[in-house]
Amino acid sequence: MTPEDWSAIRLSLKLAAVATGLTLAVGAPLAWWLSRGEGWGRRFLGALVTMPLVLPPTVLGFYLLVGLGPHGLPGRALAALGIHPLPFTFAGLVAASVICSLPFVVQPLQNAFEALGERPLEAAATLGASPADAFFTVIVPQCRPAFLTAAVMGFAHTIGEFGVVLMIGGNIPNVTRVLSMQIYVYVENLEYARAHVLAGGMVLFSLAAMLILQMLKPRRENFLRMRGRG
């Protein structure tokens, strides 16, 4: 393992940790709102959130590059606030990773919220709890398996992302060269032995993530079954 390998690993873990935290913070209220009804606006937003599941990562990365760049509308808005353009920065990787991982976080949470129903909120309201209090003291604890699932899926997806990372972050050592990019560099230079070491580690990491999800599955199924009976 070279110093560049360790730098890529540290950067990947940092990116996944920051992006997962932000994705949960954004995705939880979004999933809650999406679970509350079936209006056209909710359907459209739900489709928009899940688009990264089917949209080619390079396409998404291209439009993020254009939009967050100095000539894009979001980029100009950020520049007006004194924020430098996000492409080819760690902050740009975080923003892109949040968008890419959003469906992996929103979907399990939305399913859990829909299964939970209205009864816990109604019971909390009769005890004088505000909607925010009810969400954090009643909904979140009861949906803990879904939150754990969302966190694991979001973290693992961020670690393995390549196409969007390549487009929005480029390949800058110690800045945007994450683990997937380091493997790409080795393959491009025909250094397959070094690529095998990192790729093998990614395989083991992916297997561990899937095992964790399998361990959480009975808890999620039991939660959904109990709410269905309720």
- Rounded-to-integer distance, Cα 103 and Cα 151, Å: 12
pTM: 0.86
Task: Give Cα separations from 63 to 27, 60, 128 (angstroms).
Answer: 21, 5, 46
pLDDT of residue 14: 96
Name which of 103, 109, 104 is nearest 36 in CA terms: 109
pLDDT of residue 227: 54
| CA angle (113 as vertex; 51, 100 as ends), nearest 5 | 25
Name which of 140, 114, 110 is nearest 49 in CA terms: 110
Topology of 3-229 in CATH? MetI-like fold (1.10.3720)
Domain ranges of the chain: 3-229
Contact 101, 53 (CB under 8 A): no
pLDDT of residue 223: 54
b/e map 178-215, b = 16+ CB within 10 Å: bbbbbbbbbeeeeeeebbeebbeeeeebeeebeebbee
pLDDT of residue 78: 83
Average pLDDT per block of 10 residues along the chain, 230 residues long:
92 95 94 83 89 91 90 85 87 93 93 79 72 78 88 93 90 90 93 94 92 77 53
Most distant pair of Cα atoms in the chain: their distance: 66
